[in-house]
Chains A and B, each alone.
Chain A
C-alpha cells in the first residue's frame, strides 16, 4: 500500500509525460487525477491505521541505492505518524489541485505537460516525506525543487516566468548548499545517514566538538544550523524568502499546491523529522525560533500593502511558515506540524479561491481593479471568507487552534528569544487579520472597479509590478491598456468549485477534529516517537495567563476591525495614511527593498565577475591560447606541411637522403653501442 501511495504519481507522470501526445490531454487529466485520488484515499487509510491504530514505525525496503566506502544508502519508505500526516496533506491537496486544474487549465494547449509536472512534483514530495535517510530526503528535496522550477516556468514564453523560475532555483541552491554540507557533516559525525542510527547516537555525539572555520563548535549545533539553512531556502524564510512571491508567476493551482500547501513546508517537515537532533542543539533551536519569528512579522508587514491578490497570499504563506518555525523552535514540534496540517487546507483554499477570482476576472490579478465581486461569484466569495476566517484564527476554525497554540508555545518556551518570538507572532496575528480582510473587502465588496476599467484597457503584465503611489486607494490611475475587452465576471465550473468546498470543510473542521491527537491528551500515543513530543509544553500552555491565552483572538478582532474601518467605513483613509507616511509605505510596498539589496550585493557583482571571466578569462585567455590559438597554429602547420610537397622528384629524393643522413648522424653523435 505504501509503495502504491508513493509510486502512483510517478506512474501518472510517466504516462502523462511519455504518452501525453498519444493519449490526448483529456486522458492525461483523468489518469493523473484518478491516481492521485486513489493515493489520497490510501493515505487517509494509512493515517488512521498508523496514527490511531498506534501501529509502530514501519520500514518498507525497496532497494539498495548505492554503497561507497562506509556510505550505504538504501531506498526505503519510513512509515510513521509524521510521515502519514504528510502523506495526507500532500496527497489530499495534490488530488484536489489536480481536479481543480482540469477546470483552471482548460484552455491551455500543453495540459499533458502540466499534469505530468504536477504528478512528478507529488512523487518527489512523497519521496521526501517517506525518506528513511538524509540522502533519500535530499533526492526528494531536489526533485520538488526541479518540479517547482518547471512549474513556475510553465509558461516559458513569458520572460517574467522564466526569470522567476531561475530565481527560485538559484535561491534554493543556496539553501540546498547548506543542506548538503549538513548531510556531509552528519556523515562525518555519525558515519551514517540513516535516521535510526543518527537519532540513536545523537545525545552521545552532542557532547563532542567539531573544528570548523577556526572555531570549536558543538557538532550538532553546526550540523543543525547547516540543515536549517536548507530548510530556510525551501520554506522561504527571512533572507532566503525572495523567490516565493516571484514564484506566483506559475499557474495558480501550482501556487496552491507547491508554494502554499506542500513544498514550502518541506523545511518545516525536515526540522520536525530531525527533532531528535535539534533537541540536542539549543542554539540551533533558538536560531529556528528567531528566524521564524522575524519571518512571520516581516512578511506580514509586506502583505499589508501588496495589490496583487496572489502576492498578498504569498506573503501570508511566508508569514505562516514563520509561525511553523516558531512552533518548532519553541520545542513544540507537534504544534508546528499541526499548523502545517491546518495551514495546508486553508492556504490551498485561499489560493484556489484566488484562482477562481482570477479566472472570473479574465486573468486580472490586481485587487485595485476588482471590487464588488460578491454578487457575481458568491460561491467563490463564500469559500474565500471561510479561508480567511481560518487564516485569521476565528474561533473554532482550523487556524484558531493551531496558530493560537504556536503563540502560546512561544510564550511558555524556555528557549532564548522566546519573548521576542511571542511579540512578533502576536503582532503578526494582528496584521494577518488586517491583510486577509483587506483582500476580501477589496475583492468582493465596494463598488466594482472592473466596470470602470471596461472603457480603458489594461495590460496583464502590469498586475505583477508593484505600483508606487496610491495602492491603498483603490484604482486611482487607469491609463492602462486592456487586452480582453469588457469584463463579465462569472462563476467557475463545478470541477473547480468542488475542491474549494472540500478544502473549506478541512479549513473549518481540521483543527477541531485533530487538535486532540496532535497535541492534546492522545498526542503521546499518536506521535509514537516519530518526533520529539514534550508533554510539559502542552501542560504549560494550559496554564498561561488569561491575557496570553486570548492574545491571538484579541489581535484577530483588532485587525479585522481595522480592516473593516479602512476599507468599508472609510475607504479614503488608506490613501491618506499612505500619503502621510510615504517612506514607510514605499519601504513596505517594495518589500523592504530586499530584491534591490540582493541585486546590488549579489546579482550585479556575480554578473560582473561572470562577464569578466567570460570576456577576459574564457574569451581572451582560454579561447585565445586554447581552441582558437591552437586551431590557428594547426592551420599554419598544415600550410607548411602542404608546401613541402612540391611535386618535384628531386625534392622527394632529397628528403629521403636527408632522412638517412640524419639518422646516421644521430648514431654517430650519440654513439652506437
Chain B
C-alpha cells in the first residue's frame, strides 16, 4: 500500500501546476503587493492555459492516484479542459475589468487558481472524501470571490448569502455522504456501486437525496437555486461569469460521475428526482427570467434553465445521455463566457450598466458588438443552426431514446417560453431607439467575444472535434 501511495506526477500534473503556481503567486503578491498585479494576473492566466494543455496531453488511459480516490479518465480530461478554458477566459474578462478600476486586488487571480484546483479535484474525485475535499476547496475560494469587491454592499451581501447557504448545502451533502457510508460501508464509488447492485434500501436513498441536494446547490438546480440570482447580480461581473461558466461544469461533472459510477445500477430511483429537478429548473428558469430587467439576473435564471436542459440528458442515464451532457456543458461554457463578455463590455463613460434597456439602439451605434450578442442570444434560445440548438438536440434525442418523451416535450416547450426573453434583448438592440453607446471594446474583450462567437456559429458546421471528444469521454464512464 505504501508503495502505491505516491502517484505518478503525470497523472496529477494539471493539479500540480495549479497548486504550485497558486502558492508561488501568493508569495509574489504578499511580498510585492499591488505593484505585482500585472505579473500575478498574467502568470495566473498562463498557469490556467498550461494546465489545460497538460490535461489535453495526458494519456487517454484511465489512471488512478492516491489509493484510488483520484481518477483521470477521458471524462475527467474533457471536463477539466472545458473548466480550465472557461476559467482562463473569465480570468481574462476579470483582468480587463480590473484594468479600469481603482481597486486592483491581486488575490482575485490566486483565488481563481485555487478554486479551479478544487474543481479539478471534484472532476477527478473517485470517492466521497475526495468529492467533499474538492467541493470545499473550490467553494471556499468562491465565497471570497463573490465578496471580493468588499466596498460594495451588494457584493458583500452576495458573498454572505452564498456562504451561509453554501454551508447549509455542505452540511446536507456531508450528512448524505455519511448515510451512504453507513449503509454501504465504503466511501469509494466502485465500492458503493458494488453495494448498490444488490438493491438500495430507503436509508441509502435518503443518503443519495441529501448528497444530490448538496450537488444541486452547486449547479443551482431548483429548488436549491435561490442564491443564484442574488449572487449573480451582486458579485462583480467577471466573477459571475466565472461562477456560471466553470463552477457549474465541475459540479455537473461530479454529479454525473456520482450518479453513473456509484449509483449507475440504481438509475430508476434517482431518475425520478432528476426529472423533477430538471423540469422545475427549466420551467422556473424560463418563466422567472421574463420578469427581469437586470441582464445579470436574467443570465442567472438563464443558467438555471440551462442546467435543467443538461439534466434532461443526465436523466436518460445512458451513454448517449452523458454524451449530451458533455456537449451541452461545453457549448454552454462558450455561450456563457461570450454573453458575460458582452455584459462586461456594457460600460459607459460613467461606469458599468447592466439593465436590458441600456442596450437599446446598440445595433446602430456598435453593429459588430450587437451582432455577436444577437448570435449568442439566438444560440442560448436554441435557434438552429447555432450551437445552442445542437446542444439541446443532443440531450433531447438522448432523452427520447431513453423513453423520456414527456420530459423532452416539456423541455421543448420551456425553451419556447425561454426564447421570449432572449429575443427581447435582440429586439431592444435592433428595434428600439436609444442612446446605447459603450466605450470601445478592449483587445482582450474583442478576442473573447470573437472566439465565443466563432465557436457558437461554427459548431453546427464542424461539430466533430467537440462531439468526438465528448463521445470518448462519455464512453469512459461506462
Which residues does A use to contact B, with CB under 8 Å?
Answer: 634-635, 637-642, 644-645, 647, 649, 651-653, 655-656, 658-660, 662-664, 666-668, 670-673
Contacts and interface: CB of A to CB of B under 8 A. Distances in A.
A641 B284 contact: yes
A660 B284 contact: no
Contact of B205 (A649, A660, A667): A667
Contacts of B217: 656
B224 A659 contact: yes
B288 A652 contact: no
B205 A641 contact: no
Interface in B418-461: 420
Given A652-B161, A653-B165, A638 B288 contact: yes
B291 A638 contact: yes
Contacts of B401: none
B246 to A, nearest CB: 23
Given A641-B287, A667-B206, A672-B205, A652 B226 contact: yes
Nearest to B209: A663
Contacts of A635: 290
Contact of A649 (B164, B202, B266, B272): B164
B160 to A, nearest CB: 8
Nearest to A650: B164
A659 B202 contact: no
B229 interface: yes
B226 A655 contact: yes
A640 B291 CA distance: 10
Interface in B228-260: 229-230
Given A655-B223, A659-B224, A660-B213, A672 B291 contact: no
Contacts of B227: 652
A472 B317 CA distance: 89
Nearest to B421: A638
A512 B272 CA distance: 91
Given A663-B209, A672-B200, A673-B199, A656 B223 contact: yes
Tell me the dominant secondary structure on chain B's binding face.
Answer: helix
A630 to B, nearest CB: 9
B210 A660 contact: yes
A653 B168 contact: yes
20 contacts: A634-B417, A641-B288, A642-B288, A644-B288, A647-B230, A652-B161, A655-B223, A656-B172, A656-B217, A659-B224, A660-B210, A663-B273, A667-B202, A668-B202, A672-B200, A672-B202, A672-B204, A672-B205, A673-B200, A673-B268
A664 B213 CA distance: 11
Nearest to A635: B290
Nearest to B301: A641
Contacts of A666: 272
Interface centre among A653, A656, A658 (most CB of B within 10 A): A656
B169 interface: yes
B406 interface: no
Contacts of A634: 287, 290, 417, 420
Interface in B155-191: 161, 164-165, 168-169, 172
Interface of B: 161, 164-165, 168-169, 172, 199-202, 204-206, 209-210, 212-213, 216-217, 222-224, 226-227, 229-230, 266, 268-269, 272-273, 276, 284, 287-292, 417, 420
A641 B291 contact: yes
Given A642-B292, A644-B288, 20 more contacts: A634-B417, A634-B420, A641-B288, A642-B288, A642-B291, A645-B230, A647-B230, A649-B161, A652-B165, A655-B223, A655-B224, A655-B226, A656-B217, A663-B273, A664-B209, A667-B205, A667-B206, A667-B209, A671-B202, A673-B266
Contacts of A649: 161, 164-165
B202 A645 contact: no
Contacts of B213: 656, 659-660, 663
A662 B165 CA distance: 19
A305 to B, nearest CB: 57
A659 B216 CA distance: 11
A644 B417 CA distance: 19
A647 B228 CA distance: 11
A638 B165 contact: no
A655 B172 CA distance: 14
A656 B291 contact: no
Given A634-B417, A641-B288, A649-B161, A672 B224 contact: no
B213 to A, nearest CB: 5
Nearest to B160: A649
Interface centre among B202, B205, B222, B266 (most CB of A within 10 A): B205
A660 B291 contact: no
A603 B108 CA distance: 75
Contacts of A672: 200-202, 204-205, 269
Contact of B169 (A642, A656, A662): A656
A637 B273 CA distance: 23
A656 B205 contact: no
A176 B269 CA distance: 61
A333 B306 CA distance: 72
A83 to B, nearest CB: 46
Contacts of B202: 667-668, 671-672
A662 B273 CA distance: 10
Contact of B206 (A645, A652, A655, A664): A664
Contacts of B172: 656, 660
A647 B201 CA distance: 38
Contacts of A656: 165, 168-169, 172, 213, 217, 223-224, 226
Contacts of B223: 655-656, 658-659, 662
A19 B153 CA distance: 64
Contacts of A638: 287-291
Contacts of A663: 209, 212-213, 273, 276
A207 to B, nearest CB: 53
A673 B287 contact: no
Nearest to B229: A645
B226 A645 contact: yes
B226 to A, nearest CB: 4
Contacts of A667: 202, 205-206, 209, 269
Contacts of B168: 653, 656
A637 B417 CA distance: 11
